[in-house]
Each structure stands twice: as C-alpha cells, then as structure tokens.
C-alpha cells in the first residue's frame, strides 16, 4: 500500500453547461452525483493491491488528461452529439446507452443519457453505464488487451452488456480494473470542448 501514489482521473465531457438542456435530470446536482459515484467506485479499485494509484477523482471541466487517465463523452443521444457516429466508427460494443471505439486519433468512450431519461436512480444508472464504457476503454478495446471480451470475461456485474442501477461492482471487475488503471491508452481529446446534445 505504501508505494501507491498519484490520482487516477476520469474526465467527463459534455453537459458541462446544463443551462443548454431542458431536462431536469441533467443539472449540476446530477453531474456531481454521477462524478461522486464514479469516484467512490474508482477509490475502491485504487485500494486493490494491483493498483499503483492512491486515489481517484473526476472532472466535468476541460483539461489535459494524463496518459493513464480516461475521457468519457457524455452525450444526450447517439444520433446527435455522438463523436463515434461522426467518425463513422464501429464501436466495440454498440449499445443503446453507450459505446467505445478505438479510433486512430485516440480511444473514444461515450454514453447516451437520453436513453435512461426519467429512470429511477438516474445518476447511479448513468455512473454504471459510464463505468462499463471505461472497462471497455481500458480492458478490451485497446491493442494491449487485459481480456478479449469484458462481456464474457470481465467478471459479470458492471462488465455485463446491460447494466442498471442495481448492478454490482464485482471483485473481478475491481481486480481487472486495478491492474489496468496504469495502462496507457491514448484517449481522444480533440473534442473535449464540444457541447454535446
Ligand atoms: Zn459493453
């Protein structure tokens, strides 16, 4: 434990200006709740022996990610604001609520929150969907794979193809992610300033 250091950071992009949204669930309180859920999960992962990081944090503000950080584009819909779609990209997991695409310009992970509009425990569902895409981002989408397919080899729970508010973070989810946090996966950062709708 003593040799753990540094902060693993999750950069959330989009909806940074909630005033451009008419949906109540996309306000600053929800953005904070989503970020804190992710921070709590990743802090738990950092405590695992395989993690070199001491702790985790998140940001909804633009910045410069470290080479081990992850970036997730939080879109309203896949049809509008989707970066993967604009690249004619074929995501590794093309679900209704999110996708991750190993683009030549960097790994793109994104989620589509309109899909879960009005869901009970909205921020928890959103955080779990974001976590699932981060698993793809670090584990099975990069050239250097930790597992070939998280859906079958990721330990169930949040690695499952469909996640909900009640989906658990399993011990294997934690172990796999702890070992992959320090993996350098180049992220797509070119549109971190983009307003996503
Ligand atoms: Zn998936």
**pLDDT tens per residue, the chain (197 residues)?**
568 999 999 999 985 444 555 454 567 788 899 999 999 999 999 999 999 999 999 999 889 999 999 999 998 888 877 899 989 888 988 888 999 999 999 999 999 988 888 888 999 999 999 999 999 999 999 999 999 999 999 999 999 999 999 999 999 999 999 999 999 999 999 998 876 65
pLDDT at site 197: 56
Distance 21 CA to ligand 1 centre (A): 27
pLDDT at site 196: 63
pTM of the shown model: 0.93
Distance 164 CA to ligand 1 centre (A): 13
Q: Return d(Cα 145, Cα 79) in angstroms, integer.
A: 29
Distance 102 CA to ligand 1 centre (A): 14
Q: Return d(Cα 76, Cα 80) in angstroms, integer.
A: 7
Distance 17 CA to ligand 1 centre (A): 28
Distance 79 CA to ligand 1 centre (A): 19
Q: Return d(Cα 97, Cα 99) in angstroms, integer.
A: 7
Residue 189 counted as domain residue: no
Residue 187 counted as domain residue: no
pLDDT at site 16: 40
Distance 18 CA to ligand 1 centre (A): 27
Residue 65 counted as domain residue: yes
Tell which residue, 179, 142, 187, has the closest CA to residue 45: 179
Residue 67 counted as domain residue: yes
**For the chain, how many residues are written?**
197
Domain holding 127, by residue range, is 7-180
Using alpha carbons only, how large is the chain's radius of gyration in Å?
15
Residue 191 counted as domain residue: no
Number of domains within the chain = 1
Distance 74 CA to ligand 1 centre (A): 16
Please, are residues 161 and 40 in contact by the beta-carbon 8 Å criterion? no
Distance 137 CA to ligand 1 centre (A): 10
Pairing of β 98-103 and β 106-112 = antiparallel
pLDDT at site 17: 46
Residue 103 counted as domain residue: yes
pLDDT at site 51: 98
């Amino acid at each position: 434990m003593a040799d753990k250091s540094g902060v693993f950071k999750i950069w959330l992009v989009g909806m940074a200006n909630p005033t451009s949204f008419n949906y109540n669930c996309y306000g600053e309180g929800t953005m904070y709740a989503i970020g804190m859920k992710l921070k709590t999960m990743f802090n738990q992962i950092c405590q695992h022996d395989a993690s070199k990081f001491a702790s985790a944090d998140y940001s909804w503000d633009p910045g410069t990610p470290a080479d081990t950080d992850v970036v997730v584009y939080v879109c309203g819909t896949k049809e509008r604001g989707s970066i993967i779609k604009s690249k004619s990209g074929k995501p590794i997991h093309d679900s209704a609520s999110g996708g991750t695409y190993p683009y030549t310009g960097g790994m793109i992970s994104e989620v589509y929150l309109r899909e879960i509009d009005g869901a009970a425990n909205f921020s928890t569902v959103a955080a779990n969907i974001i976590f699932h895409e981060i698993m793809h981002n670090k584990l099975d989408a990069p050239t250097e794979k930790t597992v070939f397919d998280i859906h079958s080899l990721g330990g169930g729970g949040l690695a499952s193809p469909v996640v909900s508010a009640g989906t658990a973070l399993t011990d294997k989810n934690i172990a796999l992610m702890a070992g992959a946090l320090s993996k350098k996966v180049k992220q797509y950062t070119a549109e971190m300033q983009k307003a996503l709708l």
